[in-house]
Every structure is written in C-alpha cells, then in structure tokens.
Structure 1
C-alpha cells in the first residue's frame, strides 16, 4: 500500500520537551517502518533552526513524532501550515485545544462525553488549603504522558495542606488542574482514520501493581501489564469506542488519536470517565496504538503508512493547509 512514487518524508522527533526520549524512540521506529515501505526518510531532531532545515530538505510530508511542547501544542503545526508542508496527525486548532486539559473538557463535555469535574488552581493556594476534598488529582494543564501528575490522599506524605518542600508538580508549575480522584481501572482506546471515517481499534486495560499509569509506568518495560482486548463487559467496551470516536471527531483529530479513561466498575456505565484525548500517541515498542493496531490486524508498517496517507489527503482537501473538520 506504499504510495507511488515513494515519498521523501522527514520524521520530526526529539526536541526539548519532557518527553524528548520517548519522541526519539517513536521517531526511530517510524523512520525504520517508512524506509521498509520504500520511502526516502530523513530523521530531524527538532531545534530552533527547524524551519531552515525543512526549507532545505523540501520533504513531501513531515511525520510529526514529537510529544509535548512545542510539537503537540500547535506551534509546530502553525509553522508547517505557513510553509505549506503536509504533516501527520492533528492540525493547529485541534492541537491547541487537546493539549489543554481544561479546554478539552469545554469542548467534549457539551457533546455528552463524561469527564471529571475540577478547576485550575494557583500553586500558591495549594500550600494554604486543599482545592478539593481528598483524594484528588493534580496535573499540569498542558503536558502529556502523565508528566507531573500527583494523587493527593489523606495519608499522602506531602503534608496537609501540601508543604512547599514536598516533592510534586507544584514545584514545577505555577498552575495545576485539580480533579476528583476516580477509583477503578485504567482503560484506553485508539482511533485511526480510514476511508470510511474514524475507526476505534479496541480497548486496552492497563494493570499496574502500585501507583498509577504515570510516565515511568508508560515507558518502562515490565511496569505495566497491557490486557488487549480488555476483559470488560461488552457494553463498557462499546462505550469506550463510542466516546473515543466522538472525541476524535469533535476535536477534529486526524491520523490517529488515543482516548484514556478511568472506570469505576462498581458504577457500571455511570463510572466511565474520559481523562484526555492524546492527538499524537507514542509509537514506541511499548506504545498502545501500535499494540491495538496489531490486534486489529494492522501491522506497524501499515499503521505508519495509513497515517502518512491521511496527512496527504487532509493537505490536499484543505488546499495546502492542515484544515480542521
């Protein structure tokens, strides 16, 4: 299914975000797959001269394998739009909204997608009082891969209220999103665009012995058990797929996305909550989208090719910019 003739594809990776190492792993895997598919590939580590390098390389398409800021927040997307270069995954407006957890709530909840309540809190206020009854979750507003997430419980070793010297995301950010803690199980559903519209690839349950599905658990082999397909009731699996497709459509995602959930299995369908939709899911050997794709009989090389073909389709339909649906 490789495009004819073969394309010159720049895989944009690395950068300076917290998720740099994951991006490098994703990019290396993508580059190998694209070369296997017959394309000419240049791996490009994002730096401040990226626009000049892209102008020199003149790629047919950019595979955006960046994670976090500035590759996932609309910055790189805006640059590529101005340069008229097709690129994978979601466009500028979608990226701006989806990386911001509060904006994502404002976009999705009116469409019937359940998400935890919560509010933005100034870090200085955390050291005076709890923003919500314990247990609650604190997370950066616009970071991915569960970077900087903390669960504050009655017996947390952070003090009450939270001490300034206690280790946590309050030491790295001026504002945090506070949400009620939802007990239960970690679920996730990947969506990929197809000729017939967005397609959910299934549901994976993430089983963690201790803690929660944070950055270390995501990218350290053996720390998390992936159960794919998840051993959950059919109606919950169907609801996960329905919410994931709806989020993909409402946000205007392209290529692929992944929607993460917490499910309180004691509450049935009422216990399922969307946490976020990731517009540029990882493509590492431990990443969830390639894993779900395999269970849907889509190999890694085919998955990468489908994402590239969607980028070209979107670019052509939008007349030279990465248009929003």
Structure 2
C-alpha cells in the first residue's frame, strides 16, 4: 500500500507473551527505522486495554512487532481487522494456523510438503505415543516461539522432564522426529525468497540462549550449500508461505536437512525477530537490503484481510 510521509505508524511491541523481552527489542529497532524514514511513530506496549489505546493513538497503519501469544496467533490481527487499521504481516487465519505447529504440519503435509513425523501429547494422557522411528525427538509446546520450552530428547529417561518443561506453557506438546543434519532458515519478503542462512549453534542446539546471546551461534549467509539445495529450499519456503496465505510482509521458514540433504520444514514464523541477532535482517542484508529499507518494504506490504466496509 502507498503510505505518505509523516503518516502516523503505530508499532505494537512488548505484550503479554513469554517472548515479551524479545518483542521489546524488535519494536524499538523497528521504531527507529520508521523514524529515519520520516514517519511519525507511536510505540504501543500492548496490554488488555489495546482497543482503547489504538483508538486514542489515531495511528493510520500498524507495524506488528509482537512475538508469541496474542501477537502471532491471529488475536491482534483480529483486533486490527475490527478497527479497520491496516497492519503488517499475515492476516487472522494465516497467523492462527502458522502459530500452531500441528495445524501447520497437517496443512503442509496435505499439500505434499515435507515435514518431520510427529505426535501430540496432552497432560491428561497416561501414555505418550512416540512418532515412527522413536528417539531422538524434539519436544516443544505446540504454539510457542523462540524455542521456548524446547528440549532434544535422546532416550526415554529424558522424556518426562522434557514433557514437564513443555507443558509449563499450558498447551499441548509436540513430539517431533529429530532431523540430524544442517539447520537452515529461508526468509520470504512479500512473496520473494531471500538468501538462505545456515545456523551453527554452540552445542548443536539452537535454543533460546543460542538465538539471543551474542557468540552462541554462527550464521553463514548465504548458506554454503549447493545451488540445487538453495533452489529447493527457497521453493519450499515460498510454497509454504503461499499455502498458509503468509505472502504479505516477511515470514521465515525454518528447515533441517537430513543426512541425504533432503529438506524438512520445521515451522513457519509470521513475525520474525528484528533484534541485532535476528535472522531476517541478516538475510535481507545478504540480498543488499539494509535494515531501514527492509522495514519500509514490510510496512508497504501492510493491509487488511477484509476491505473497509
């Protein structure tokens, strides 16, 4: 959409999720970039009075920098649709589906896209069913980001503690077959792929600490993989974004390659981080897109699922 200079942009950040601290960092970085572009910027730390605060702020467009629950799951998108305020990123349904790892897997598999085998566990279940192939497994909450509550489990002795940790987020738990190869991420900006990034985490596990602590991970961009693998992963990332209706703004699709270099989609992130260690800005930079330009392109992809009445 066309957005005139000095338009008032609301940056939603912070919020009520377990990813609040990361969202605060993302929101501040986004706000600085928008100010550099000449927009009038209002930072809004989201709470349960968000409807009143949005109305009072009189923002014309919202840049969504909320991570996790309420920010990526269709909740804030529904509020903005109701208020008829255009916003960045995917819409209500797309956000809700992509936030839920199980729903994402079901839809991608139905469309023939590769994703690891899995089962789902609830606290009420007396027995836990493992996916085909058994251990090792990745155990994580169904609808959390930033690897919160995630554990790699190599045998049955480790499983109870991993389940307990994941269940602390009060939601079903995904038990996913571990894919023991390269870890890649593919960003898609307004429907177009950006260069791949290979992630090499200290200790081999790309968890919360590895994601957000300087020096805990090495990022190779563009990823040192063959042109054939690059094209295949980028094609799968664009297909996943399109199938899930996540083709507005920027999304990030995470992959692992197995020992035969076959790519598997792990998850789709609809509000990628914008911190100094975040992956989307690194991928954009490798494509010659600086951070301020990246923010401008995401902003200009803002819209609504439903046209104003």
TM-score range, shorter chain: over 0.9
The match for 1:119 is 119
The change in CA–CA distance for 1:130 and 1:110 in structure 2 (over 3 A counts) is closer
Q: Is the 8 A contact 1:86 1:320 kept in 2?
A: no
The change in CA–CA distance for 1:5 and 1:273 in structure 2 (over 3 A counts) is same
Matches of 2:62 and 2:108, distance apart in 1: 28
The match for 1:101 is 101
The match for 1:192 is 189
The match for 2:173 is 176
Matches of 1:171 and 1:152, distance apart in 2: 17
Matches of 1:130 and 1:163, distance apart in 2: 16
The match for 2:260 is 267
Determine which of 277, 288, 299 is the counterpart of 2:279.
288
The change in CA–CA distance for 1:304 and 1:171 in structure 2 (over 3 A counts) is closer
Determine which of 235, 245, 256 is the counterpart of 2:238.
245
Q: Is the 8 A contact 1:136 1:151 kept in 2?
A: yes
The match for 1:57 is 57
The change in CA–CA distance for 1:162 and 1:5 in structure 2 (over 3 A counts) is closer
- How high is the TM-score relative to the length of structure 1? 0.89
The match for 1:299 is 290
The match for 1:9 is 9
Query: What secondary structure sits across from 1:66 in the alignment?
Result: coil
Determine which of 152, 159, 162 is the counterpart of 2:160.
162
Please show how residues 198-277 of structure 1 align to structure 2 within 5 Å.
Answer: 198-253=191-246, 254-264=248-258, 266-268=259-261, 271-277=262-268
Kindly state the Cα deviation for residue 35 of structure 1 after the two structures are TM-superposed: 0.2
Q: Is the 8 A contact 2:119 2:129 kept in 1?
A: no
The match for 1:92 is 92
Kindly state the Cα deviation for residue 130 of structure 1 after the two structures are TM-superposed: 5.9
Q: Is the 8 A contact 2:187 2:283 kept in 1?
A: yes
Matches of 1:61 and 1:232, distance apart in 2: 39
Kindly state the Cα deviation for residue 150 of structure 1 after the two structures are TM-superposed: 1.0
Matches of 2:18 and 2:48, distance apart in 1: 17
The match for 2:72 is 72
Aligned length: 305
Q: Is the 8 A contact 2:196 2:222 kept in 1?
A: yes
The change in CA–CA distance for 1:80 and 1:109 in structure 2 (over 3 A counts) is same
Kindly state the Cα deviation for residue 233 of structure 1 after the two structures are TM-superposed: 1.4
Matches of 1:209 and 1:147, distance apart in 2: 17
Matches of 2:104 and 2:159, distance apart in 1: 29
Runs (4+) off by over 6 Å: none
- Provide Cα deviations, 1:251-270, integer angstroms capped at 9, x if missing partner: 11110100000112x313xx
Matches of 1:223 and 1:301, distance apart in 2: 26
Query: What secondary structure sits across from 1:123 in the alignment?
Result: coil
Matches of 1:129 and 1:109, distance apart in 2: 23
Aligned alpha-carbon RMSD (Å): 2.0
Kindly state the Cα deviation for residue 117 of structure 1 after the two structures are TM-superposed: 1.4
The match for 2:141 is 140
The change in CA–CA distance for 1:111 and 1:309 in structure 2 (over 3 A counts) is same
Q: Is the 8 A contact 2:81 2:306 kept in 1?
A: no
Q: Is the 8 A contact 2:11 2:43 kept in 1?
A: yes
